[in-house]
A = this chain, B = another copy of it.
Amino acid sequence: MSNGRRETKAVAAKKGAPRAGRRPRSAKADPGRPDADLDGLTDHLGYLIRRAQLWIFEDFTRTLAAVDIGPAQYSVLTVINANPGLTQMAVSHALGIERARLVYLLDGLEARQLVKRRASATDRRSHALHLTPEGRSAFMRITALAREHERRLAEKVGLDHHKMLVRLMQVFANG
């Protein structure tokens, strides 16, 4: 799985069927495969967000394939880097990742020597999380690629639109 970037095997021949604006009506004009009418779906933010998620995660994963880091791993590294000594519960809470899932993610990052679980000085139930020196230098390469991904994303939606989206979506940043 580590190299899991399968090439999407040339999805047959795409016939004409151009994206006719946001009103893909004509069911007769194109005998090949006209786009179906999505009806009210394109007014549902949830639907649009799911489609956006597909595009973004795919581009992110492809862009960071060289360092073999996925979106979840990236978010974990970022938070640990910015908050050395954080506990697993705090990371789980900050990112909305289930603590059971986080155990698995950290197992992988620790096995790759990017992250270290240390004993907490104050609470022997919990671990203090830190980037290793290798983790810190890897993180610099990783953030460079992440920025490249973000640039490509901004290109797709338009630079001004990207700024606006980031601002509007802050509502969801926590809680």
Contacts and interface: CB of A to CB of B under 8 A. Distances in A.
Interface in A10-45: 10-16, 18-19, 22, 26-27, 33, 35-45
Contacts of A171: 156-157, 161
Nearest to A156: B171
29 contacts: A5-B107, A7-B119, A10-B118, A11-B118, A13-B122, A14-B84, A14-B85, A16-B83, A19-B82, A26-B174, A33-B89, A36-B82, A36-B94, A38-B94, A39-B79, A40-B78, A45-B150, A45-B169, A46-B53, A46-B60, A46-B153, A47-B75, A48-B169, A48-B172, A48-B173, A50-B53, A51-B96, A164-B164, A165-B165
